[in-house]
């Protein structure tokens, strides 16, 4: 879709088109009539499948065994598609109420968990996008009820309210942080390192050029690979000299035959 059809990169979050094989069709609960190993498939509007975030690959990977995880999914949405990492939780957090999947919905359990102010700072940011995907269980199959309770998939980010996976997909489609993150990642993968603070202006220019091209991925690859900055060699800083004295913890273990491997 992005390379051969040269589609808008942002359509990755809203398109109901995909490719499936026979095992995937059984998980999606859709027919597979093709004689090929893989075949194109367009989900119906009632399927709520909207872009890459509603594919089994994303939904099942970022979930708990046997249950969904709005927090995991939300963290990965920010991390992968917006280049915004989330700090690790404190070591003494009590997850018991959230992990008790025998009562109510995940939303209710997370709201209760967020009453802890030490948790709320991160969860108020990471959970909303994940809660919009709660119509999909830990395997990624569609459901509308959890423990006999209707699942609420209304959510919002930065004051923008939306409903379910389709609303989340449209939000990401329209959020300029998403294509800017792709630009950053393409450049970082190409040069084999994280961009420095001095390269922020360059990345902003590349993000603008990406937008001007209609968010075409092949054009982005060409514009970055042909830019002078792509070929600049960044000299690493000097290595720190080794300490003249080593502590007992860093000394190698001695064995009868020499140093332990």
The predicted-structure confidence for 67-83, as pLDDT tens digits, reads as follows 999 999 999 999 999 99
Distance CA 49, CA 47 (A): 5
CA distances, 221 to each of 131, 186, 209, 233 (Å): 34, 7, 11, 19
| 89 and 119 fall within a common domain | yes
Does residue 89 register a pLDDT over 90? no
Task: Report, as an integer, the average pLDDT of 152-156.
Answer: 96
Distance CA 21, CA 26 (A): 9
Task: Report, as an integer, the average pLDDT of 50-55.
Answer: 96
Does residue 157 register a pLDDT over 50? yes
State residue 99's pLDDT score.
59
| 97 and 123 fall within a common domain | yes
Domain that holds residue 114: 48-174
State residue 249's pLDDT score.
46
| 61 and 105 fall within a common domain | yes
Can you say how many angstroms the Cα of residue 29 is from the centroid of all Cα atoms in its chain? 24
Q: Which residues contact 84 (CB under 8 A, 6 or more apart)?
A: 78, 177
Q: How confident is the model at residue 104 (pLDDT cuts 50, 70, 90)?
A: confident
Q: Which residue is listed with tokens 């996008």? A: 129
Distance CA 30, CA 17 (A): 13
Phi-psi region of 19 (alpha: psi -120 to 50; beta: other; left: phi over 0): beta
Whether the full predicted model's pTM is greater than 0.85, yes or no, is no
Distance CA 18, CA 209 (A): 28
| 129 and 220 fall within a common domain | no
Sign of the C-alpha dihedral, residues 33, 36, 42, 43?
positive
State residue 237's pLDDT score.
66
In a domain, 1, yes or no: no
In a domain, 127, yes or no: yes
| 134 and 67 fall within a common domain | yes
Task: Report, as an integer, the average pLDDT of 191-216.
Answer: 96
Task: State the chain's mean pLDDT as an integer.
Answer: 87
More confident residue, 257 or 32: 32
| 151 and 188 fall within a common domain | no
Please identify, among 174, 200, 235, the residue that sits at the C-terminal boundary of a domain. Answer: 174
| 89 and 199 fall within a common domain | no
State residue 258's pLDDT score.
39
| 80 and 148 fall within a common domain | yes
Which helix (H) or strand (E) covers residue 224, if one does?
A: helix 217-225
CB atoms within 10 A of CB 63: 21
In a domain, 254, yes or no: no
| 53 and 139 fall within a common domain | yes
> Per the structure, how many domains does the chain have?
2
In a domain, 18, yes or no: no
Task: Report, as an integer, the average pLDDT of 230-253.
Answer: 63
In a domain, 94, yes or no: yes
In a domain, 233, yes or no: no
- pLDDT > 70 in the chain, percent: 83
Structure confidence by residue, pLDDT tens digits, 125-145: 899 999 999 999 999 999 999
CA distances, 140 to each of 41, 108, 254 (Å): 17, 20, 52
CA distances, 71 to each of 111, 115, 160, 173, 207 (Å): 12, 15, 19, 21, 29
| 62 and 99 fall within a common domain | yes
| 104 and 205 fall within a common domain | no
In a domain, 33, yes or no: no
State residue 5's pLDDT score.
85
CA distances, 168 to each of 61, 163, 164, 178 (Å): 18, 7, 6, 13
State residue 106's pLDDT score.
84
Does residue 252 register a pLDDT over 90? no
Distance CA 179, CA 186 (A): 11
- Burial degree of 53 (CB within 10 A; 0-12, 13-18, 19+): buried
| 114 and 92 fall within a common domain | yes
In a domain, 247, yes or no: no
């Amino acid at each position: 879709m992005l390379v051969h059809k040269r589609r808008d990169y942002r359509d990755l979050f809203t398109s109901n088109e995909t490719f499936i094989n026979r095992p995937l069709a059984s998980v999606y609960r859709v027919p597979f009539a093709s004689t090929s190993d893989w075949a194109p498939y367009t989900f119906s509007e009632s399927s709520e499948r909207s872009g890459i975030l509603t594919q089994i690959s994303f939904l099942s990977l970022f979930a708990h065994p046997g249950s969904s995880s709005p927090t995991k999914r939300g963290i990965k949405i920010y991390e992968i598609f917006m280049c915004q990492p989330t700090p690790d939780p404190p070591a003494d957090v009590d997850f018991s109420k959230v992990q008790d999947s025998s009562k109510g919905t995940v939303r209710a359990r997370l709201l209760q968990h967020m009453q802890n102010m030490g948790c709320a700072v991160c969860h108020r940011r990471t959970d909303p996008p994940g809660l919009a995907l709660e119509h999909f269980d830990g395997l990624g199959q569609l459901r509308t009820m959890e423990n006999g309770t209707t699942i609420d998939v209304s959510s919002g980010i930065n004051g923008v309210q939306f409903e379910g996976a389709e609303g989340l997909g449209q939000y990401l489609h329209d959020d300029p942080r998403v294509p800017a993150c792709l630009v950053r990642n393409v450049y970082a993968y190409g040069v084999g390192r994280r961009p420095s603070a001095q390269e922020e202006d360059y990345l902003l220019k590349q993000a603008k050029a990406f937008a001007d091209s209609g968010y075409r991925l092949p054009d982005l690859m060409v514009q970055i690979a042909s830019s002078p900055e792509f070929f600049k060699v960044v000299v690493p800083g000097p290595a720190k000299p080794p300490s003249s004295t080593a502590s007992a913890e860093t000394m190698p273990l001695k064995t009868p035959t020499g140093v332990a491997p």
